[in-house]
Chains A and B, each alone.
Chain A
Amino acid sequence: MDAETRKLLDPRTIARAEALGMNARFIVEGYMAGEHKSPYRGFAIEFAQHREYSPGDDVRHLDWKVQAKTERYYIKQYEQETNFVAHLLLDGSESMKYASAEISKLEYGKMMAACLAYLILHQRDAVALGIFDEEVREYLPRSDNRDNLFKIMDRLAGFDPVGGTRIAPVLHGIANQVRRKGIVIVISDFFDDEEEVLEGIQHLRFNGHEVIVMQVLDPCEIDFPFSGMVEFEGLEDLPLIRTRPSQIRKSYHRAFEAFQEHLRAACERHKCHFVSLRTDQSLDEALANYLAFRKSTSG
């Protein structure tokens, strides 16, 4: 494991994440026994309840003992313990390169993705990783093999952004390709067309995926603290803008807060978790806060 990879696996961050554990918000179906319960009552290991037989039911699941006692036909239903697949989607566009201090949004996002991957794999669940800009640039198929962690780290560490942002096609693509319901974690600044992004999220939710929206922002993008005459150079080949930030600060704040509020409201509407992250916030604290929140809302 090289230095870049080790940096992504901050032991303190991982320790806090393990301690808190991770509970999926919804029960998803999976292959392996784990802590996550499948919403599908099937034939597997653990009896769940009886249901009166109706035409079309598989007669193999009839409980003959109950029929002998009550002379009625009941079907046996089971809860199957299963694992889940988490799709980690990291925005690797150029806008994520912005850093007002040491850590850029991309680096912060990479660390967050690494932590989540380690945590999920540690729980013997499966993780798939996608790094995208206008399209998916890096993709690692799902795997519950812990050895896969190193591949994930390598891909994260080795990625260098070059293109603009188009989140929506990526989300639609994942929704179309992944048939099994799972958790889709999108890590991005979401500086894209909100309506298109929200359509993508809606698509994922429609297919039954749990969607976690993690918005990574630089503090300067939130506070806009510049003074004097400043020429802003767009990171995604956008034209230069020269202005006095002090004279438009409030206007900027209004536009930015409106964008965030829109994103947050849409996530709530689609029953997604919206997590706002600042790059000056410690990662373990951000992760711990979210997992605590998640545990509290999972029942």
Chain B
Amino acid sequence: MNFLNQALLWGIAAISVPIIIHFLNRRRFRRVPWAAMRFLKVSVEQNQRRMKLEDWILLVLRCALVALLAFLMARPVVEGLSGMPGSKVAAAIVLDNSASMGSREGEGTRLTLAREAAHAILDRLPGGSPVVISGAFHPNEASNDHDLVSSRIDEIAQTDRHADLLLALEEAVRSLEGQAAAEKELYLITDGHAEEWGAFAVLEARLRDISAGTRIHLVMVGTPAPANLGISRLTPAAALPAVNEPFRIDVDITNYGSSPARNVPVKLLVDGQPAGEPWMIDELKPGSSESATLYATLPSASYHRVTVALEDDGVPFDDRRTIVMQAMDDVRVLLVDGDPGVEDRESETFFLRHALAPVPEEMRAAYPVKPSVVSVSDLAGETLDRYHAIVLANVADVPLPFADRLARYVEAGGGLMVFPGGNLRPESYNTLLHGKHQLLPVSFVARDGNAATRPRVMVPTETNPLGLDGDLLARVKFRQVLGLEPGDRDHRLALRYDDGQPALVESEHGLGKVFVFTSTADLDWNDFAIRPAFVPFINRLLGGIVQNRESNLNVEAGETLRHRLEADLAGREATVYEVGDPEALGRLTTLSEAEGSSVLEFDRIHRGGAYQATIDGQPDPVLFAVRPSVRESSLSLLGAEQLARLGDSATVVGWGTGSSAADFGAHRKGSELWWPLLLVVIALAAIEIILAQWFSRSK
């Protein structure tokens, strides 16, 4: 027999307390002069032995009660007992199901081994122990039903996500906090993927804290994978892919292994069908990346899945990546010219027009982007809904009726670009478009007066949402810009000047998108229009507007899909399926209401691939793609030194094929006896009370 609080055994010395009280009570009496002594003497003589016996019984009971209480508090543990309440432990089993756990191990994967380890742990837990089983992202409720827990282990699915093990540990510790069991055990079953232990010092410190009240076991599964080639980047070069027009797709392939790879084929699939010949990478050195250039052609003006695939290796999740793209066959842009000039070249929209359709005159009819130019006075006759985007170029005042139409147009999904110039009167824009309709997220403040002293240079922001080349932008000189004052509406800074002033601001309004530039679209305030960066800049803006609705259709595993749709779809149900797996059980979600739109929100996407959401009453499903976490592609695992450090606060156990379940639970000293002892203490206390009453009655 062992004791978990051995020091409390000294409490047994407290049995002296009832003995002392007993003798003190015998000394505490009152003296009464008495005449009828003969009857008293007879009575005492008759009852003397009985009274002494009763006193001794009570004294022994009280001493036993105190001794047992001290014994109970010392938490005795007896080996070989099971099924008793005191023998239960509260256990939390965290099963790492991040992307790296999908690495192949023999016939299965690391996750297969992890499940086996979890079953072995469960089998070694005392019956009835409350157990919490959770994946790295899926906390569960504690359950005493080990069959249920066992089924939950099998339900933990492989993901293509990057795990935050610290978060998973915190969840597990929280789940243990409410458990009544005296001993708590935390099992983390993981492959020790170094990326998940990135903040190693933090995690190590936290494990040390947790180990103060909980026994931690780190169960390491799997062996280091010898090689892994993975897709580390997939970017379409074209912002506006046209129907049946080949467009470039840039792909980076990285060798995460320690040996070079040769003759690596990179395949392209459109809507699941192979497209063209695979790109061959002759040699891929360890730790390096190589780019592959693939050309895809989208067959119709709708959404398509573009997939890049490598040959399967031991780490399959990063061998395939899909994005969703929309092909356009006719993109119409309305250019509102606020300063037409005398000659065509003097027009405010001259460079814009050419940038939007950067092809020779004879090819413009076939080119998908079709710009149209109107003056402000002709705006009344234009039907805005015909256009994908409207550009206001140095327009002095926004006519009131046009402002109303423009707001409705953008809200319904249209795009707006604003280029200022010498004619622009800030009050008109600020009052109508910023103030009244809140179409512009910013207001114009004043013209820049010191432009002549120091020309500015435009630089992308850190996120560089337009994907512009910083070197090309650096060649552009901005002599004059219009200041912006941010308002209450959400907006993002897409480009800024080298002095920190905003250059390009983007925002959403309803289903539409708005870009506000702070300099001219012609050469009045800058030389942008004649620089190489101008054409991609304008095309990226247009691409951003046209594909605004699709911009959130490509998410990383674990991210929440938020896709805006028409406002009247709010409240409708949508069913999400994985494309190509029609047998899979669809998962339901409901479209929520947002400002001027509805939102398809879905946060249960854990695997890479293409998905479709079928909305009630809508003929065409919404297609979206999920990419695996790139961080999981690395092969590096925790080193021996790191495992040794973790061993200070946790028991590190290796688990592989053929490992023995005996590794788990061997630390347990046995079953605690507190529950039966507590019952005995309660019984003794009850007996003492009853006997004390019984003995003190008149006899």
Which residues of A are in contact with B by a Cβ distance under 8 Å?
A: 94-98, 105, 189, 191, 218, 221, 226, 228-236, 238, 241-244, 246-252, 255-256, 259
Check A246–B697 contact: CB distance below 8 A: yes
Q: Does B40 lie within 8 Å of A241, measured CB to CB? A: yes
Q: Which residue of A lies closest to B26 (CB)?
A: A229
Contacts of B32 in A (CB 8 A): 226, 230-233
Binds A, one of B42-50, B92-100, B360-368, B589-597: B42-50
Choose from B25, B26, B34, B695 the contact partner of A247 (Cβ within 8 Å).
B695
Is there contact, CB below 8 Å, between A218 and B35? yes
> Which of B37, B43, B47, B54 interacts with A234 by CB under 8 Å?
B37
Taking A229-B26, A248-B699, A250-B698 as known contacts, 16 extra A-B pairs with beta carbons closer than 8 A to each other, sorted by chain A number, are A189-B35, A218-B35, A221-B35, A226-B32, A229-B25, A229-B28, A230-B31, A233-B33, A233-B34, A235-B33, A235-B37, A238-B41, A251-B42, A251-B699, A252-B40, A256-B36
- Alpha-carbon gap, A98 to B41, bound state (A): 17
Verify A231–B30 contact, CB threshold 8 A. yes
The answer to whether residues A247 and B696 also contact, given A191-B35, A232-B37 and a CB cut-off of 8 A, is yes
Q: When the two chains form the complex, which single residue of B29, B51, B698 contacts A231, counting CB atoms closer than 8 Å?
A: B29
Residue among A230, A233, A247 having the largest count of chain B Cβ atoms under 10 Å: A247
In the complex, how many angstroms separate the beta carbon of A232 from the nearest chain B beta carbon? 4
If the complex has contacts A228-B29, A229-B28, A243-B51, are A248 and B44 also in contact, measured as CB distance less than 8 A? Answer: yes
Given A96-B35, A244-B696, A255:B42 Cβ within 8 A: yes
What are 7 A-B pairs with beta-carbon distances under 8 A? A96-B35, A228-B30, A232-B31, A236-B35, A247-B695, A247-B696, A248-B51
Interface string of B70-103 (1 = CB under 8 A from A): 0000000000000000000000000000000000
- Min CB distance B53 to A, Å, is 11
Q: A229-B28, A230-B30, A233-B32 are in contact. Are A191 and B698 (CB under 8 A)?
A: no
Q: Which of B671-699 contact A (CB under 8 A)?
A: 695-699
A232: chain B residues within 8 A (beta carbon): 31-34, 37, 40
Q: Does B38 contact A (CB under 8 A)?
A: yes
A35 to chain B, nearest CB (A): 38
Sorting the interface of chain B by its residue count into under 10, 10 to 19, 20 to 34 or 35 or more gives 20 to 34
Please name the residue on chain A nearest to B46 by beta carbon.
A251
Q: Which of B37, B38, B43, B46 has the most CB of A within 10 A?
A: B43
Q: How far is the CB of B312 from chain A (nearest CB, A)?
A: 91
- In the complex the two chains form, is B44's CB within 8 Å of A243's CB? yes
Q: What residue in chain B is nearest A99 (Cβ atoms)?
A: B33
- Check if B698 sits within 8 Å of A235, measured CB to CB: no
A276–chain B nearest beta-carbon distance, Å: 14
Contact of A244 among B34, B36, B51 (CB under 8 A): B51
Q: How far is the CA of A114 from the CA of B34 in the complex (A)?
A: 26
7 A-B pairs closest in CB distance: A98-B35, A249-B698, A229-B29, A95-B35, A251-B43, A232-B34, A248-B43
Name the residue of chain B whose CB is nearest to the CB of A252: B43
Are B29 and A221 in contact (CB-based, < 8 A)?
A: no
The residues of A that contact B38 with a CB separation of less than 8 Å are 191
Check if A98 sits within 8 Å of B33, measured CB to CB.
yes
- Which residues of chain A come closer than 8 Å to B26, judged between CB atoms? 229
Q: Which of B32, B35, B41, B699 has the most CB of A within 10 A?
A: B35
Residue from the set A95, A97, A189 with the largest chain B CB neighbour count within 10 Å: A95
List B residues 366-413 near A (Cβ within 8 Å).
Answer: none
Q: Which residues on the A side are within 8 Å of B698 (C-beta)? A: 246-247, 249-250
A218 CA / B26 CA spacing, docked (Å): 27
**Which residues from chain A contact B35 at a C-beta distance below 8 Å?**
94-98, 105, 189, 191, 218, 221, 234-236
CB contact list, B562-611 vs A, under 8 A? none
Please, which residues of chain A bring their CB within 8 A of the CB of B25?
A: 229
A232 to B34, CA, bound (A): 6
Q: Are B41 and A231 in contact (CB under 8 A)?
A: no
Give B27's nearest chain A residue, CB to CB.
Answer: A229
**How far does the alpha carbon of A242 sit from the alpha carbon of B51 in the complex, in Å?**
12
A107 to B698, CA, bound (A): 31
Give the Cβ gap from B492 to chain A, nearest Cβ, in Å.
87
CB-CB < 8 A to B695: which residues of A?
Answer: 247
Chain B residues positioned under 8 Å from A97 (CB to CB): 33, 35
Complex: A94 Cα to B31 Cα, angstroms? 17
B29 contact set on A, CB distance < 8 A: 228-231, 242
Q: B534 CB to closest chain A CB, in angstroms? A: 108
**B contact residues around A243 at 8 Å (CB):** 40, 44, 51
**A248 and B47 contacting across the interface, CB-CB below 8 Å:** yes
Contact flag A247-B28 (CB < 8 Å), given A191-B35, A252-B39, A255-B43: no
Which residue of A105, A230, A232 has the most chain B CB atoms within 10 A of its CB atom? A232
* Most central of B36, B43, B44 by chain A CB within 10 Å: B36
A221 touches B33 (CB 8 A): no
Docked complex Cα distance between A88 and B695 (Å): 46
Q: What's the Cα separation between A88 and B697 when bound, in Å?
A: 43
Known A-B contacts A231-B30, A233-B32, A233-B33; A259 and B39 likewise in contact (beta carbons under 8 Å): yes
Shortest distance from the beta carbon of A199 to any chain B beta carbon, whole Å = 18
- B28 CB contacts on chain A under 8 angstroms: 229
Asked whether, in the complex, the Cβ of A191 is within 8 Å of the Cβ of B697, the reply is no
A256 touches B699 (CB 8 A): no
Q: With both chains docked as a complex, state the minimum distance between the C-beta of A217 and any C-beta of chain B, in angstroms.
A: 8
A200 to B30, CA, bound (A): 38
CA distance A259 to B38 in the complex (A): 10
Give every chain A residue within 8 A of B44 (Cβ-Cβ). Answer: 241, 243, 248
Q: Considering the chains assembled together, what is the distance between the CA atoms of A246 and B699 in angstroms?
A: 8
Bound Cα distance from A113 to B31, whole angstroms: 31
Give the distance in Å from the alpha carbon of A235 to the alpha carbon of B29 in the complex: 18
| Cβ-defined partner of B39 (8 Å) among A96, A242, A255 | A255
Contact: A251 with B36, CB < 8 Å?
no
Between A96, A221, A228, A251, the greatest number of chain B beta carbons within 10 A of the residue's beta carbon is seen for A251
User: B39 to chain A: which residues have CB within 8 Å?
Assistant: 252, 255-256, 259
Residues of B within 8 A of A96 (CB): 35
Chain B proximity of A251: nearest CB distance (Å)? 4
State in angstroms the CA–CA spacing of A255 and B35 once bound together.
14
Query: What chain B residues lie within 8 Å of A94 (beta carbons)?
Result: 35
> What's the Cα separation between A130 and B34 when bound, in Å?
25
How near does chain A come to B638, taking the closest CB pair, in angstroms? 73
Determine how close the nearest CB of chain A comes to the CB of B44; give it in whole angstroms: 5
**Residues of B contacting A249 with CB < 8 Å?**
698-699
Q: How distant is A228 from chain B, measured CB to nearest CB, in Å? A: 7
Whether A247 contacts B47 by the Cβ 8 Å rule is yes
- Complex Cα–Cα for A221 and B33 (A): 11
- When distances are taken between beta carbons in the complex, the residues of chain A under 8 Å from B33 are 97-98, 232-233, 235
Question: Which residues from A are CB-within-8-Å of B36?
Answer: 95, 98, 189, 191, 221, 256
| Selected contact of B47 from candidates A189, A230, A235, A251, CB within 8 Å | A251
Q: How many angstroms from the CA of A228 to the CA of B25 in the assembled complex?
A: 9
Tell me the minimal C-beta distance from A118 to chain B in angstroms.
28
* Distance A236 CA – B26 CA, assembled complex (angstroms): 25
Among residues of A, the one whose C-beta sits closest to the C-beta of B696 is A246
Of chain B, the residue at the smallest CB distance from A232 is: B34
Please report the C-alpha to C-alpha distance between residue A235 and residue B30 in the assembled complex, in whole angstroms: 16
Instruction: Known contacts A189-B35, A247-B699; decide if A241 and B41 are in contact (CB<8 Å).
Output: yes
Roughly how many angstroms separate A248 CA and B36 CA in the complex, as a whole number? 14
Q: Across the interface, which residues of B come within 8 angstroms of A250, CB to CB?
A: 698-699
User: Which residues of chain A are near B51, meaning CB under 8 Å?
Assistant: 243-244, 247-248
Q: Once bound together, how far apart are the Cα atoms of A246 and B696, in whole Å?
A: 6
Name the residue among A95, A221, A249, A252 with the largest chain B CB count within 10 angstroms.
A252
Residue in A closest to B698 when the chains form the complex, CB atoms: A249
Name the residue of chain A whose CB is nearest to the CB of B31.
A231
Alpha-carbon separation in the docked complex, A231 to B37 (Å)? 11
Q: Which residue of A lies closest to B39 (CB)?
A: A255
Specify the chain A residue showing the minimal Cβ separation from B29. Answer: A229
CA–CA, A228 and B34, complex, Å: 16
What is the bound-complex CA distance between A234 and B32, given in angstroms? 9
Chain B, Cβ-Cβ closest to A242:
B29
B48 to chain A, nearest CB (A): 8
* Smallest beta-carbon distance A293→chain B, Å: 26
